[in-house]
Chain A
Amino acid sequence: MVQTAATLSQTESPARRQTRRGLAGVWLEFLGSMNLAITLLVVVSIASVIGTVLPQNQAYTEYLIQFGPFWFEVFRLLNLYDVYSAWWFLAIMGFLVLSTGVCISRHIPSVWREITRYRTHVREQSLMALSQKRRWRLAEGPDDAENVAAAALQGHGFRTRTERRGDAVIVAGMKGAATRMGYVLTHVAVVVIALGALADGNIGLKIREMTGNLAVETRDLPLSQVPGDSWLPAGSGSFRGNVTIPEQSNSGVVFLQLRDGYVVQELPFEIVVEDFRIDHYPNGMPRSYESDLVLHDPALDEPIRQTISVNHPLTHRGHTIYQASFTDGGTQLDLTGHILDGSGQTLPIDGRVFEDMRLQLGGVERVLEINDFQLFNVNRDPRSVERTGARDEFVNVGPSFNYSLRDEAGQAREFHTYMAPVEIEERWYYLHGMRTDASQPFRYLHIPADENASMDTFMAFHQALHQRDRVRRAGQRAADAVLAQMGVANPDLASRVAGTTDDMVATLVEAGLGAVNARLEARLADASRPEMLRQFSQAVLQRTLFELYRESLATRRGVSPDQLQIGADEQAFFEDAVNAVSGVADYGAPIIFEIDHFNHRQATGLQITKAPGKNVVYAGSAMLVAGLFMLFYVSQRRVWAMVRPGEGGGSELIMAGVNQRSPEAFEQEFETIANAVDGQIGRPDAGSARTEDQ
């Protein structure tokens, strides 16, 4: 029964009709076969996974580190670093598209027949084999019966055709042929989308490369030095490239990333970036990135001025310009370098982000590389969390910059320095971050800011610690005072202690508090009363440092040390300053910077694309959606009515129908059609009809 249904609703496949097929025929059948289609769908899925698991298009050196030389090479040969343009991936995709194409072309004749043919050649037997059928013996004549049947079908939206065969009349009706069109649309759409995408892919570049017209440049060169065979002229097909343009600067090219290098694509116009802006939310998150562009195109009388932002690109002559990223565009920085050798010297520096500079520091040459500048640093305000429990209060702690210092051996440390002091637990500090390894977070040196919000008091203190005789005098005073406090008068001891204190201060400056304690412990090891000596030494050191601090502070305030009022603030400053001195020893740089002035300049990162296949892909997508809804929500139904003359001028009517898509819904529909027929000829007053189900 199912067999019959299928033969009624679907013509035989063309392949079956061909009894002798050539090799081409075998191929076509293979390509258009369902098994291949499903296999390919699954294979493409699995192949796609690779590209999502393995990060794509990264620097080759990273892969090399990750996989080692052997696997790096294997993966490279398999093109796994750019799976989606690998020959094998494109080949599978190509197969899928080819297979879909063959499938459509093989089905089109049968789809055409399905849509246009009424199939009036049916026999009673095959009708009775369908799942929905009904038979009437009527008193009315065949003409009336035919009329009623045709009217019932038309009334239910069927298109009908009537044909007389022998003494029988057949009314063949059909409805919902759109579902067949849905099949064609969906599958043609797949091919169309694939072709459009192909036009936008980088096949063109690959062909140029293979024919020797294009060489990928892997060196980082100024534009003017990039050799001619790495250039692509304007108007040479689809591309997708990036370019970084500083404010008040311009570009007429973009760079196309290709494997481990790039090529330069010329543009038919020039882009000037007037301004780049980042707008922020109150919590410091970026709200928008915007660039004011001016496009100079020789074909235009007036340049185009437009502001682009994320989600709002500019399209001109098939080129679309997107806001993609941003970096510093060479911010100018006026810095003061405080040299930390105790000389109190400063070094004025005019630097620029991305510029390198050679510095002679203590007879050693170092390269200062300024890497970045941030105008804002917005942090969660810890006080507001305490105060209100709110998570959404923020403070902007102002600008900062990043730099590294490279020594002659090429070793570098990275630094991150803020322009303004930052408040931490109600005290203010200049923060100087340092790290030796880019994978680690910065560790920050906290230099206390004085009442003028400057580092000067600390610097004076730090400098004083380097002046041996001052330190020695302070040590002497401290030792005397501590001994006096303890009620011991022992000038010899005092001077011995002062001597070791001198040593401890030098250790502190050079190696930090940890080293001071280590030295002290070593000395205590063979002392007779270590505990007392430890306390004593520490008290003297503490007092020495404090004396020195008091002196520096008094000098700065222009008063004599005795007149100086030491309050809680000064005390706290002193403790911070000692910690900072110790921190400086770990800081690993002979210089510490202060930003005096900056001239902020940013650069916008634009992505520029030309995708001539885009509209083809969109058209294909529209077809796909239309096709899918037709496939799923329209179903094709055929209903036949067969009328034959019956006894005594009456007639016999058979109606039968089929719908493979949704049999349940069709059962109901058939029911209403049959009832409609009943309603016309089986009316009680007519009394003429005898209905037989089945």
Chain B
Amino acid sequence: MVASREQMIRQMRQPSLWQRLGVLDWAWAALVVAATAGTYIVLGEVMNGYEVVITAFTAATMIGLGWHWPASRGYMIAVCGLSLFAISRYPDLAAAEADFFLKYLLSSQSAIMWMSALFPAATLAYGAALFTGNDFMGRLGSRFTWLAAGAGLIGLLVRWHETHLYEGGIGYIPVSNLYEVFVLFGVITALIYLYYESAYRARTMGFFVSLVIAASVGFLLWYHFDRQAYQIEPLVPALQSYWMKIHVPTNFIGYGCFAIAAMLGVAYLIRARVADDSPWAARLPTLKQIDDVSYRAIALGFAFFTVATILGALWAAEAWGAYWSWDPKETWALIVWLNYAGWLHMRFTKGLRGKPMAWWAIIGLFVTTFAFLGVNMFLSGLHSYGEL
């Protein structure tokens, strides 16, 4: 025994986060910082202080995400690169029809259509993997999901640019109506799922999660073709606020997580009926895995939903004159929140697991869906977007 305790501690100390970062991590951070600085140089003049803070915060989030989940870097680079390319070919709205790349790939409408094709394709591929046990199909499902999430986000970013091309300066961040947030929902849910897929190295959950995304794409397509909801319309004054930039995406992280948890609840109920020695057992996610990811999804969703609701309250305090006015949308947000608080308590303090929790998560999605859609359809209130 030669070493002193200090020496040993030094030898055994776990590298801190900073020390674990490699060259690539720093390159990533530098890239994001450079891109953000570039953005600031180009757009700084038209941003207000809050927007600068939001941009900086977005950059920090991107850096953190890239460090924590290296696979997301390629995604972010590709999405930003292609969006910039699209924007560079977009001097005016007519270019959407005239330019080859825009017309077939990158105008917001084309990109969103690609997304709408790729998500169902992912569901089919994951489904094939589930029913045949073919691993290649699973990998294909994953690829499609990445591509669809990319197409959707490009669609939104390019649409952001398009809103600024309309006459009369109507430019706004495209998370302001039901059409746009459905695209956002697909993108965010897919990305959260992909994170869990890579964290658990398992594609067996893919079919279930992509099913709910495909359903939302179905709605999106109906909304597009039946209601021409893709039209860009100017924002009502109440929505013209930087709060929208943070409130809505935060909310959708919550919704996405809850949707994933509910679909995993379905997977749980199915898996619980399957005998352990049947071939299905190997193709379905394990009960433990489901249980684990459900908890993680609901915890993440709950945390973000809480933040979103608080941001909503801050915004309401600025736009409507009260941080809480028992507007139906607010009230339903509270209901959703209390519901998952109940779920978390059940699991954590009573240690309840298994089927009841799976059912609860599934019912939770209905409550959430009502808060997200039903309120707009059936109840009137102050929330001024998303009437069907």
Contacts and interface: CB of A to CB of B under 8 A. Distances in A.
A596 to B, nearest CB: 32
A155 B338 contact: no
A311 B240 contact: yes
8 contacts: A37-B345, A285-B236, A288-B237, A310-B240, A311-B238, A614-B323, A628-B303, A679-B12
Contacts of A150: 5
A53 interface: yes
A56 B332 CA distance: 15
B59 interface: no
Given A52-B331, A140-B1, A311-B319, A84 B345 contact: no
Interface in B338-388: 338-339, 341-342, 345-346, 349-350, 375, 379-381
Contacts of B31: none
Contacts of B350: 34
Given A52-B375, A312-B318, A618-B314, 9 more contacts: A41-B342, A44-B338, A48-B331, A48-B335, A84-B326, A155-B13, A311-B238, A311-B241, A391-B231
Q: Determine the main DSSP class of B at the interface with A.
A: helix
B71 interface: no
Nearest to A285: B234
B357 to A, nearest CB: 13
A625 B231 CA distance: 37
Q: Determine the main DSSP class of A at the interface with B.
A: helix
Interface in A276-291: 281-283, 285-289
A322 B241 contact: no
Contact of B379 (A53, A151, A289, A311): A53
Contacts of A309: 237
Contacts of B320: 322, 607
Contacts of A4: none
A281 B323 contact: no
B12 A310 contact: no
Interface string B145-182: 00000000000000000000011101000000000000
B328 A52 contact: yes
Nearest to B292: A664
B180 to A, nearest CB: 17
B14 interface: yes
Query: What interface size band does chain A fall in?
Result: 35 or more
Contacts of B328: 52
Ranked nearest first, the 9 interchain pairs of A and B with the lowest CB-CB distance are A155-B12, A151-B8, A310-B237, A52-B328, A607-B321, A322-B321, A144-B1, A676-B12, A155-B13
B128 interface: no
Interface string A285-329: 111110000000000000000000111110000001010100000
B223 interface: no
Contacts of B379: 52-53
B318 A311 contact: yes
A471 interface: no
B19 interface: no
Interface stretch (B97-105, B118-126, B305-313): B305-313
Contacts of B302: 628, 632
A45 B320 CA distance: 23
A608 B321 CA distance: 7
B237 A614 contact: no
Interface residues of B, number: 58
B99 to A, nearest CB: 20
Nearest to B237: A310
Nearest to B8: A151
Contacts of A200: 322
A188 to B, nearest CB: 15
A289 B240 CA distance: 12
B84 interface: no
B324 interface: yes
Interface in A130-163: 140, 144, 147-148, 150-152, 154-157
A80 interface: no
Contacts of B170: 281
Contact of A155 (B1, B14, B168): B14
A144 B1 CA distance: 7
Interface in A370-396: 391-392
Interface string A592-636: 000000000000000111010010011001001100110010000
Contact of A287 (B166, B234, B324, B380): B234
Interface in B2-35: 3, 5, 8-14
B322 A49 contact: no
Given A151-B5, A311-B318, A288 B240 contact: yes
A38 B342 contact: yes
B303 A632 contact: yes
B317 interface: yes
B300 interface: yes
Contacts of B3: 680
A155 B234 contact: no
Contacts of A484: none
A672 interface: yes
B335 A283 contact: no
B237 A289 contact: yes
Contacts of A55: 380
A200 B317 CA distance: 13
Nearest to B238: A310
A51 interface: yes
Given A286-B236, A311-B318, A625-B310, A38 B346 contact: yes
Contacts of B375: 52
A625 B331 contact: no
A322 B302 CA distance: 32
A42 interface: yes
Nearest to A662: B292
Nearest to B305: A628
B276 interface: no
A155 B313 contact: no
A460 interface: no
Contacts of A5: none
A197 interface: yes
